[in-house]
Amino acid sequence: MKDEQLILSEMKRGSLYRNMAKGRTERYIGSVSHIRPVMDYHKEQQEGAMIRDIRLATQSEVDQYIDETNARVAGKPVISRVAPQS
């Protein structure tokens, strides 16, 4: 994976990114300014981050986030993984 700096306008709402400052995978939900994306962690914490601390999550990080989500949700519904279409 490239260590290329993200540009806020290229980030997609709802996508998962790795917050390297916090060492966890978070969902992008909006922005506060041109350098501060607002990230959500399992619908519990929403806060601004610095764009320099954010990178696209790897597939293993996405899988871990999904597994954590499934473990946290009451009633234990399962989020299934869908393979990208070519």
pTM for the structure as a whole: 0.77
Question: What's the angle, vertex CA 67, arms to CA 61 and CA 73, rounded to 5?
Answer: 135
**In one letter, which amino acid is 11?**
M
B/e letters for 6-33, b = 16+ CB within 10 Å, e = fewer, are beeeebeeeebbbbeeeebbbbbeebee
Which domains does the chain possess? 8-72 (2.30.30)
Q: pLDDT of 11-33, one tens digit each?
A: 999 999 999 999 999 999 999 88
Query: Contact, 17 vs 28, CB < 8 A?
Result: yes
Q: pLDDT of 54-74, one tens digit each?
A: 999 999 999 999 988 887 766
